[in-house]
Amino acid sequence: MRIALFTETYLPYINGVVTHVKILKEGLEELGHKVLVVTASPNTRRHYIKDNVLYCPAHEIKRFYGYGVASPISYRRLKIIEDFNPDIIHIHNEFGIGLFGITCAKILKKPLVYTLHTMYDEYLYYVVPKRLIGAAKKVSHDYTRFLAKRATALTGPSKKCEEYFRNAGVNKDVNVIPNAVELEDFNPSKIDPEHKKQFRQKYNLDDDLMLACFVGRLGKEKSVDVLLDYWAKSIKPEDRIHLIVIGDGPSKPELEEQAKQLGIENMVTFTGKVMHDELPPYYASCDIYITASLSDTNSISMLEGMATGLPVLQRYDELNADQVRNGINGYVFNSPEEMGSKLKEIKNMSEEDLKILKSSVIESVKRSGAVDLANYTLTVYSQIYNKLDKHKRKRQKSPAL
């Protein structure tokens, strides 16, 4: 098949959508399919293709990490897509590039797949004042219906996406396709022990400390403030358990201040921004991945931690309840007391029991690689073509005499 993947951001930028599209591209190509990624780039004034990626001129939005937003209209871009002649157009964002993908699908008469990655209700505070959140939510839901109506098929990384579509008034079926992870990059056996040692030294972390890490953008939707509150209520310095918050974002200064106000600044380290290719030894130096976020649809950062062998402690979320299985790849918690209890339980595990748990965690994500993601997605593509073929045959069937 020939597949065009449309995403507002792509390498060298890194976020969950970029990682998903990158891994999907690699998996599809490994299976022999032709892939063209279409993305916005604020660093070019002309359209060009490199390594099967079409870079489109875009306006830089500094408030959103310097990402680019491209015009949804471009004859030159349309001609390039027409020449590529995709069998499927698959959009992963809702803005300029996503709208352009919808236009391409309509003009070129191609089936359109729309993957929802982001629960936008959780992000409205970035762009509108608090008093306008209600009105903005209505507009967001109207826009979601507009996009979904034009899609041949809908997908999302978790059941949360299906709920979001329903809340927006979309009643189409939603195919849940879990996110994937770069398994080889986060294979703990391939991470240099010396790099782990350097990590502890860099942040002045004693060898006897158990380290729990959270990795992600530091925005309100990630609920790191909840994690800090829970930590202050359940963990004491004598427990010798330390929290590592890896990442940057608009909430970082207030979170650092919160840690001070709670009196836990000596039990929490904020690393700031860490480049994606530098993350493996960070994960491998830690013992647990922990999150209180209820906005994630299937956290890639969490999967990366699991691929490194980190058991996950996740705040209970009914729609993500199947992602963490107690005793298999981690534990869920509902309160500060439960979180603290599970942290101490893992810290007090025997070396043999901990080894068994880590092996179980790694085993749980072995089917979360690039080819697995590609095969899941190809199932959706195949369903579309089966329906189109059936419809075509029905139309061509001669009426009975």
Q: Which fold has domain 2-180+369-385?
A: Rossmann fold (3.40.50)
Whether the per-residue pLDDT at 401 is higher than 50: the answer is: no
Q: What is the pLDDT of residues 276-318, one digit of tens each?
A: 999 999 999 999 999 999 988 889 999 999 999 999 999 999 8
What burial class does residue 107 get, using C-beta atoms within 10 Å of its C-beta: 0-12 exposed, 13-18 middle, 19+ buried?
A: exposed
Name the strands in the sheet holding 88-91, side by side, starting at the edge strand that comes first in the sequence: 48-50, 53-57, 34-41, 2-7, 88-91, 112-115, 153-156, 174-176
Q: Which stretches of 80-189 are assigned E, i.e. beta strand?
A: 88-91, 112-115, 153-156, 174-176
| Predicted TM-score (pTM) of this structure | 0.90
Whether the per-residue pLDDT at 396 is higher than 70: the answer is: no
Whether the per-residue pLDDT at 234 is higher than 50: the answer is: yes
Parts of the chain belonging to CATH 3.40.50.2000? 2-180+369-385, 188-364
CATH of the domain spanning 188-364: 3.40.50.2000
Whether the per-residue pLDDT at 386 is higher than 90: the answer is: no
Whether the per-residue pLDDT at 336 is higher than 80: the answer is: yes
What burial class does residue 163 get, using C-beta atoms within 10 Å of its C-beta: 0-12 exposed, 13-18 middle, 19+ buried?
A: middle
